[in-house]
Amino acid sequence: MSYRTRMIYIFLIDSIIVSFAIFVAHWLVYPYSSHPYNDTIIIITSICLLFFHHLYAIIYNLYNKVWAYASVGELLAIIKAVTLTIITVALIQFVINDFTIYRRALLVTWMLHIILIGGSRFAWRVFRDRYITKSNVKKKRTLIVGAGDAGAMIARQLNNEHN
């Protein structure tokens, strides 16, 4: 799979997750209420979430990262982008909805975004590490002396080099 194709898939998966999250959050927060806020607000909120998520994802390079080596740094970039997206959408809700913000729905949306977007990135890493391997490579056994950070880094690099 080419780099461009992977980036298109990540963009589409993010779009589905972001569009899906506000409706699930609304359903979770207000399960028995018919309409705590009108449909126009939820549609405007979902469009703003989609637009600002992609804007902040581009700013924090979420589409340019090498997700084969996803780590805590990438997760922090996801958290920053999602948090700024939710804050921006809350400000928009505040302006267009007579100074009212639906905090619980936005909080649940924030949690869903982090779990689902972070999970999709790390799921790709797990899938790649587990199922996409080069079987024709002859592996050599290696002994690394030392148990510090440098030894762990070398072990990871050697392991990833042959996968």
pLDDT tens profile 134-148: 555 666 777 887 767
- Give yes or no for a contact between 81 and 57, defined as CB atoms under 8 angstroms apart: yes
In whole angstroms, give the CA distance from residue 96 to residue 51.
17
pLDDT for the residue 1: 65
In whole angstroms, give the CA distance from residue 118 to residue 120.
5
- Give yes or no for a contact between 42 and 27, defined as CB atoms under 8 angstroms apart: no
Tell me the pLDDT band of 84, cut-offs 50, 70 and 90. Answer: very high
pLDDT tens profile 86-139: 999 999 888 887 777 778 888 999 999 899 988 887 887 777 777 776 555 666
Q: Whole-prediction pTM value?
A: 0.71
